[in-house]
Amino acid sequence: MSTFDVPFRGEVPPQFPDLCVGCEREQPQHTARISVIGARSTFGWAIDTTLLVAGQPVQGTNVTVELQVPCCPQCAPALARHHTLKKIFLYVSGLGAAAVMVALIALGSSRGWPQGLTVTLALLACLACLALPVIWEMRRPPAFTLTPRSDDVVFEFRSEKCAAIFRALNRAATPKTGVESIPRPTAPAR
């Protein structure tokens, strides 16, 4: 599955098409509340990570983006459920990653493993735990979500039609041309 991503930079609230973001039904007469937590890094995630590994203090901030999106009553529960599960999954995987790291470091220390091996195993296990929510969302993308970034917010639609209309309605706040997408796999020619 893929999503159609529209970067948005604007001081005014975005305008959504008069379509359900789930099923594309016209004039859905209902909205779903979406709340997403994101991180704004100080220098960008790559530089921040490098500084943290080098032992330098880095200060970033969390940001919460909340908005109402057009959604028919039939699609709203699935959209809300996905976003709730995503938050739970993110927290559980983060706590699980920390627990696995601590357990591996303690095990490595008690068994006399080389420190480099212990730290490497702990980091790999941590990354595996943190990758689970990303893999889950890539395999089962929601009808709509968004990703707050340092300088913009990326609106992600499963529907190419909704993404294209959203871009057209918000042209002044969507600086790039065309709708970006993760390519869909194509069937081999027969």
pLDDT interval class at 153 (50, 70, 90): confident
Question: Which carries the bigger pLDDT value, residue 41 or residue 146?
Answer: 146
Amino acid symbol at 75: C
Strands 144-148 and 153-157: antiparallel
Over 80: is that where the pLDDT of 63 sits? no
CA distances from 173 to 9, 124, 144, 154, 163 (A): 5, 39, 19, 11, 14
Separation between Cα atoms, residue 187 and residue 124, nearest integer Å: 34
pLDDT interval class at 186 (50, 70, 90): very low
Span 59-76, average pLDDT: 82
Domain ranges of the chain: 1-74+147-179, 76-142
**What pLDDT digit, counting tens, does each position of 114-128 carry?**
988 988 988 888 888
Q: If you average pLDDT over every residue of the chain, what do you get? A: 80
Per the structure block, which two tokens stand in for 118?
Answer: 């212990």
72 in Cβ contact with 22 (< 8 Å)? yes
Span 10-27, average pLDDT: 90
**What pLDDT digit, counting tens, does each position of 158-174 carry?**
999 999 999 999 988 87
pLDDT interval class at 110 (50, 70, 90): very high
**What pLDDT digit, counting tens, does each position of 20-52 carry?**
999 999 999 898 888 877 766 555 555 655 555
Separation between Cα atoms, residue 100 and residue 44, nearest integer Å: 27
pLDDT interval class at 182 (50, 70, 90): very low
The pLDDT score that the predictor gives to residue 184 is 43
Which residues, 6 or more positions from 137, have their beta carbon under 8 angstroms from its beta carbon?
Answer: 86, 145
Amino acid symbol at 11: E
Q: Is 139 helix (H, G, I), strand (E, B) or coil?
A: helix
pLDDT interval class at 64 (50, 70, 90): confident
Separation between Cα atoms, residue 140 and residue 157, nearest integer Å: 12
Q: What percent of the chain has pLDDT over 90?
A: 26
Separation between Cα atoms, residue 163 and residue 160, nearest integer Å: 5
The pLDDT score that the predictor gives to residue 60 is 62
Over 80: is that where the pLDDT of 150 sits? no
Write down how long the chain is: 190
Buried b (16+ CB within 10 A) or exposed e, 33-60: ebebebeebeeeeeebeeeeeeeeeeee
